[in-house]
């Protein structure tokens, strides 16, 4: 592999000015690319990180500027042509050109799609529901908080639970409506989902679970506002219209180096359905760490010195007095069993998801910190563990193998 950028790559365009887009242009400059570099984004704000929108910023504990990836002047200082409030409306792969909403065009030698996701919408009874994806969304939702106000949250996923926690922190009455029997049931499985259900009940959230008729519950509750958190969908319209290969999970199909079916186009972040060398298949991860870390790998690939991106998926959440980190990838079905190390009832533990051969697929540490470095090798090295040793807090992680 060459140590220098490919000579034919002189113009790079990055579409999508969120975290993934901003980290892509940062990585390209850090890795020595000195050609034309343009970052195009539909929002008017400089690129920012989205987790605070449902955490510190939503609760009023942090300023929006704290979420910026870089101060706006950073882009000019690094010779990045930052075009905010600008929509890309077309992609001509043969001409290697993107078209902007005003009809102008940008030529590229390499193109990175970092278009992210958009919140799924749901028609519900009563007021126009709110969703959470942008700073403006967070400001609207926060304006509904306060003593004497009642908020309904539809959806018991991560966003729904975090919004509920922030609202309760502002003395808002909260009713959370979920179609499944438990929040996060499809993500964590029953045992761990019960941890989060108990947490929210203890903090005064009225959980309405197993609901078939959402409208009926909302009519009964009569909230002042409704927040819908029923997931997101990847923004792949541009890629699809241009004929790029899409994956069954709805993302843009990319190889281990994040290159799409077009050798001049890469995809990173929420839209990237990545051929993961460690996980034996494709995976698309809609979390902060993916948008943070994939861009450096894509940049290296563009510059001719790429290696497979093999970091494990990671995400975190903060709700009330519970903080957690999750690493790896497990489907909470009948083939994955959970081993708990620590105090589950006291919410200070590490949960491990094991397959039938006792390989660790994923782990979640709850109010237990500084264990990620010890846990990751168990997953990466496909260690066959002894479940009894794994559950024993007095047994070092290096000694839990059979």
Q: pTM score, two decimals?
A: 0.94
Residues of the chain with CATH 3.30.390.30: 321-399
Pick the CATH number of 11-118+232-302 from 1.10.10.920, 3.30.2020.10, 3.50.50.60, 3.40.50.620: 3.50.50.60
Crossing angle of helices 19-30 and 288-302, rounded to 10°? 40
DSSP code of 50? S
| Bridge partner list, 13 | 38, 111
Tokens of 292: 């943070």
CATH number of 121-228: 3.50.50.60
Q: Rounded distance, CA 224 to CA 219, Å? A: 11
| Residue-level pLDDT, tens digit, the chain, 402 residues | 334 444 589 999 999 999 999 999 999 999 999 999 999 999 999 999 999 999 999 999 999 999 999 999 999 999 999 999 999 999 999 999 999 999 999 999 999 999 999 999 999 987 789 999 999 999 999 999 999 999 999 999 999 999 999 999 999 999 999 999 999 999 999 999 999 999 999 999 999 999 999 999 999 999 999 999 999 999 999 999 999 999 999 999 999 999 999 999 999 999 999 999 988 789 999 999 999 999 999 999 999 998 899 999 999 999 999 999 999 998 766 567 999 999 999 999 999 999 999 999 999 999 999 999 999 999 999 999 999 999 999 999 999 999
Residues 6+ away with beta carbon under 8 Å from 16 = 40, 41, 113, 114, 115, 116, 235, 269
Residues of the chain with CATH 3.50.50.60: 11-118+232-302, 121-228
Q: Of 320, 329, 292, 238, give the one whose Cα is nearest residue 23.
A: 292
CATH fold of 321-399, please? Enolase-like; domain 1 (3.30.390)
397: Cα separation from own chain's centroid? 28
Burial class (CB in 10 A: 0-12, 13-18, 19+), 402: exposed
- Listing DSSP states for 306-329 in one string gives -----PPPEEEEEETTEEEEEEE-
């Amino acid at each position: 592999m060459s140590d220098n950028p490919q000579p034919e790559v002189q113009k790079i365009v990055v579409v999508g000015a969120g975290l993934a887009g901003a980290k892509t242009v940062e990585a390209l400059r850090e890795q020595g690319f000195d050609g034309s570099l343009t970052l195009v984004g539909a929002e008017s704000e400089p690129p920012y990180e989205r987790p605070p929108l449902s955490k510190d910023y939503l609760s009023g504990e942090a300023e929006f500027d704290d979420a910026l990836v870089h101060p706006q002047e950073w882009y000019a200082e690094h010779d990045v042509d930052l075009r905010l409030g600008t929509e890309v409306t077309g992609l001509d792969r043969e001409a290697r050109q993107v078209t902007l909403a005003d009809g102008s065009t940008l030529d590229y030698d390499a193109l990175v799609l970092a278009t992210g996701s958009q919140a799924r919408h749901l028609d519900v009874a009563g007021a126009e529901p709110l969703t959470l994806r942008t700073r403006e969304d967070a400001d609207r939702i926060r304006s509904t908080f306060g003593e004497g106000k009642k908020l309904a949250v539809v959806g018991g996923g991560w966003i729904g639970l975090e919004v509920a926690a922030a609202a309760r922190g502002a003395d808002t009455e909260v009713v959370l409506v979920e179609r499944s029997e438990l929040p996060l049931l499809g993500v964590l499985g029953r045992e761990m989902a019960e941890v989060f259900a108990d947490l929210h009940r203890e903090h005064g959230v009225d959980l309405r679970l197993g609901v078939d008729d959402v409208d009926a519950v909302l009519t009964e509750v009569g909230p002042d506002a409704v927040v819908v958190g029923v997931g997101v969908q990847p923004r792949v319209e541009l890629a699809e219209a241009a004929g790029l290969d899409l994956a069954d999970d709805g993302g843009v199909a990319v190889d281990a180096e994040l290159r799409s079916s077009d050798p001049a186009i890469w995809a990173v972040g929420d839209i990237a359905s990545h051929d993961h060398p460690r996980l034996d298949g494709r995976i698309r991860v809609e979390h902060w760490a993916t948008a943070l870390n994939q861009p450096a790998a894509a940049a290296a690939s563009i510059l001719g010195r790429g290696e497979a991106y093999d970091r494990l998926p990671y995400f975190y959440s903060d709700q009330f007095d519970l903080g957690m980190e999750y690493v790896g990838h497990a489907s909470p079905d009948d083939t994955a069993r959970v081993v708990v190390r620590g105090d589950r009832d006291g919410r200070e533990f590490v949960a491990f998801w094991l397959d039938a051969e006792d390989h660790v697929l994923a782990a979640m540490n709850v109010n237990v910190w500084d264990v990620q470095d010890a846990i990751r090798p168990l997953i990466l090295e496909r260690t066959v563990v002894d479940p009894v040793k794994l559950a024993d807090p007095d047994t070092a992680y290096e000694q839990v193998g059979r």
